[in-house]
Structure 1
Amino acid sequence: MAVNCFECQYFYTTWDPANPRGCKAYGFKTKMLPSIVVKRSSGMECLKFEPKKGARFR
């Protein structure tokens, strides 16, 4: 199952138009979702995913 960055506490939106999405856990900004970058670079799903506090997921 793919990691949904929008449900992760480390995901954030940046002010950088060239790299509008970021990951605080890994410390980078990107155009794509950070989980896609992690998967392409390492071949593994993101290991830093933490659900947002207080959020309810299916």
Structure 2
Amino acid sequence: MAVNCFNCQYFFVTWDPKSPRGCKAYGFKTRELPSTVVRRSSGMECLKFEPKKGADRR
């Protein structure tokens, strides 16, 4: 199952138009979804995913 960063407590939106999305757990900003960068870099799904409290877990 693919990780949905929008439901993760570590996901954040930045003001940087070149890197509008970020991950507090891994400490980086990116143009893509952070989970895509993690999967491409490590070959594994994100291991830091933590659902937001009250988030729908679809």
Unaligned stretches of 5+ in structure 2? none
Measure, in 2, the Cα distance between the counterparts of 1:5 and 1:56.
Answer: 12
TM-score (norm 1): 0.95
Unaligned stretches of 5+ in structure 1? none
**Are 1:25 and 2:25 an aligned pair?**
yes
State, as a whole percentage, how many aligned pairs show the same letter: 81
Cα RMSD after superposing both structures:
0.8
Structure 1 segments of 4 or more deviating over 4 A? none
Q: Matched residue pairs, number?
A: 58
